[in-house]
Amino acid sequence: MRVLILRPAELLEDTLATFRKAGVEAYGCPFVSLYYEEFEVPDHDCAIVTSQNSAREIVKRKIRLNRIIAIGKKTAEILKNAGYEVLVPRRFESSAIVEEFKDLLKGKKVVAIRSDQGGDELRKISEFADYSEIFAYRIVKLDGEEQKKEIEKVKAGFYDAIVFSSRMIAESFLEKCDEECVKRLRNMVLIAIGTPTAEFLKKKGLLPVTPDEFTFDGVLGLIKALEGAGSLH
């Protein structure tokens, strides 16, 4: 069973190593690239750190933050290991922060440290708090020979499953995917991390599945469950 994991290059090798150690024949390709920005964090009561990419930059630059809410186990782990105190929502996505921490954030100065391509979910905080956001990095879609080669492998039926780790990556992939490629996707297992990623794929007429936990550990557990059920071979 061959799985293609779509993830930025900075994070891909560790993910592939984890999957291969667990017995999954995993391959990877970055369909986006990350470009880090210079930024300053404004006065705030609470900072929302949306990804491990942002977390690494905060730690690297030794940025002082007040109360922190982090999305995802890895994001929280990076910050905690550097001595920051962190709150984490039960679901690892932006909408969970609005739902779970509304009372905590109400009337406060809240800053989100995120990418330039984040969705609108967090911006709903502006309805009950003084919300602002800063971009720690830009996400740029890739369209080179490496990406074209992977599209051809998908069309040739080389992979049994694809893991889309973000909406932006799904967009980048599908922009390069012709009708033959889309037809092949309809007969594959498509795994989406996060509700926005899954919703984007559904709007394109595809039927993704999502792990119970929006992490790569969750994806690995889902793959093992699908293998056990005979959905992957």
Q: Is 31 helix (H, G, I), strand (E, B) or coil?
A: coil
Do 136 and 161 reside in the same domain of the chain?
Answer: no
At residue 230, does pLDDT exceed 80? no
Range of the domain at 175: 2-31+142-228
Query: What average pLDDT does range 93-99 have in this prediction?
Result: 87
Do 97 and 156 reside in the same domain of the chain?
Answer: no
Q: How far is CA 156 from CA 31, 52, 111, 149, 175, in A?
A: 19, 34, 45, 11, 18
Q: What is the pLDDT of residue 191?
A: 97
Residue 65 included in any domain: yes
Do 49 and 105 reside in the same domain of the chain?
Answer: yes
On whether the CB atoms of residues 191 and 162 are closer than 8 A, the answer is yes
Residue 134 included in any domain: yes
Do 164 and 135 reside in the same domain of the chain?
Answer: no
CB atoms within 10 A of CB 40: 7
At residue 171, does pLDDT exceed 80? yes
Residue 223 included in any domain: yes
Contacts 24+ apart (CB under 8 A), 62-70: 65/41, 69/97, 69/101
Do 125 and 196 reside in the same domain of the chain?
Answer: no
Q: Could you read off the pLDDT of 12-40 as tens digits, one per residue? A: 999 999 999 999 999 999 999 999 999 99
Q: State the Cα angle at 185 between 204 and 187, rounded to 5°.
A: 120
Distance CA 27, CA 50 (A): 26
At residue 92, does pLDDT exceed 80? no
Q: Could you read off the pLDDT of 114-127 as tens digits, one per residue? A: 999 988 889 999 99
Do 114 and 174 reside in the same domain of the chain?
Answer: no
Q: What is the pLDDT of residue 65?
A: 96
At residue 228, does pLDDT exceed 80? no
Do 121 and 197 reside in the same domain of the chain?
Answer: no
Residue 130 included in any domain: yes
Confidence of residue 204 (pLDDT cuts 50, 70, 90): very high
Q: What is the mean pLDDT of the chain?
A: 94
Q: Could you read off the pLDDT of 128-170 as tens digits, one per residue? A: 999 999 999 999 999 999 999 999 999 999 999 999 999 999 9
Assign residue 49 a region: left if phi > 0, alpha if psi is -120 to 50, beta otherwise? beta
Residue 135 included in any domain: yes
Residue 161 main-chain phi, psi, to 5 deg: -150, 150
At residue 233, does pLDDT exceed 70? no
**Boundary of a domain, candidates 90, 117, 140:** 140
Residue 211 included in any domain: yes
Do 47 and 87 reside in the same domain of the chain?
Answer: yes
Do 147 and 193 reside in the same domain of the chain?
Answer: yes
- Cα of 220 vs its chain's centroid, Å: 15
Do 76 and 153 reside in the same domain of the chain?
Answer: no
Do 158 and 220 reside in the same domain of the chain?
Answer: yes
Q: How far is CA 145 from CA 23, 152, 176, in A?
A: 28, 11, 11
Q: What is the pLDDT of residue 47?
A: 98
Confidence of residue 95 (pLDDT cuts 50, 70, 90): confident
Residues shown for the chain: 233
| Number of domains within the chain | 2
Residue 233 included in any domain: no
Indicate which CATH number applies to the domain containing 52: 3.40.50.10090
Residue 43 included in any domain: yes
Instruction: Please indicate, yes or no, whether the overall pTM of this predicted structure exceeds 0.75.
Output: yes
Query: What average pLDDT does range 69-98 have in this prediction?
Result: 91
Q: What is the pLDDT of residue 100?
A: 93
**Boundary of a domain, candidates 140, 156, 190:** 140
Confidence of residue 232 (pLDDT cuts 50, 70, 90): low
**Boundary of a domain, candidates 140, 171, 203:** 140
Do 64 and 112 reside in the same domain of the chain?
Answer: yes
At residue 71, does pLDDT exceed 80? yes
- Which residue type occupies 143? D
87: tokens are 């709150």
Distance CA 26, CA 164 (A): 13
